[in-house]
């Protein structure tokens, strides 16, 4: 069995805490509505920040996770673009995700070694 270094153990512990916190919280019947409100509702900034934190934790574990993170970020950007209205409510989220995807690509390419 492979031994994990301290940084990986801490990241896995924090991910476990987040997941168990979400699982222990009261389960609602409409998970799709919760997802909509988390990423596209009035509190979408919290969902975007949560996505970025989890993505950086996954990237710290393995540099090859950058491929999946960029794919998911681009899918979020397309969904934000499809939900644009005349007021442009999701434009800043699209711009932030674009720069975040570029940042993840640069980190994935320039990082030495890999697990």
Write down the pLDDT at residue 4: 67
Mean pLDDT over 73-95 rounds to 86
Write down the pTM of the prediction: 0.70
DSSP per-residue codes, 70-99: HHHHHHHHHHHHHT--TT-TTHHHHHHHHH
Residue 45's SS3 state is: helix
Q: What is the pLDDT of residues 8-18, one digit of tens each?
A: 878 878 877 77
Report which of 34, 37, 32, 97 is spatially closest to residue 69, judged by C-alpha positions. Answer: 97
CA dist., res. 113 & res. 26, Å (int) = 41
Report residue 90 CA to chain centroid gap. Answer: 17
- CA 33 to chain CA mean position, Å: 19
CA 115 – CA 105 distance, rounded (Å): 17
Provide the residue count of the chain.
Answer: 115
Residue-wise pLDDT tens digits, 46-76: 889 999 999 998 888 888 889 999 999 999 9
101 pLDDT band, cuts 50/70/90, is very high
């Amino acid at each position: 069995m492979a031994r994990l270094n301290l940084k990986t153990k801490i990241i896995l512990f924090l991910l476990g805490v987040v997941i168990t916190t979400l699982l222990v919280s009261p389960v609602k019947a409409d998970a799709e509505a919760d997802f909509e409100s988390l990423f596209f509702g009035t509190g979408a900034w919290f969902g975007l920040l949560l996505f970025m934190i989890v993505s950086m934790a996954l990237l710290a574990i393995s540099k090859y996770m950058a491929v999946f993170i960029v794919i998911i970020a681009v899918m979020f950007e397309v969904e934000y673009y499809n939900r644009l209205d005349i007021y442009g409510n999701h434009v800043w989220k699209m711009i932030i995700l674009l720069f975040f995807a570029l940042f993840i690509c640069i980190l994935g390419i320039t990082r030495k070694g890999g697990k």
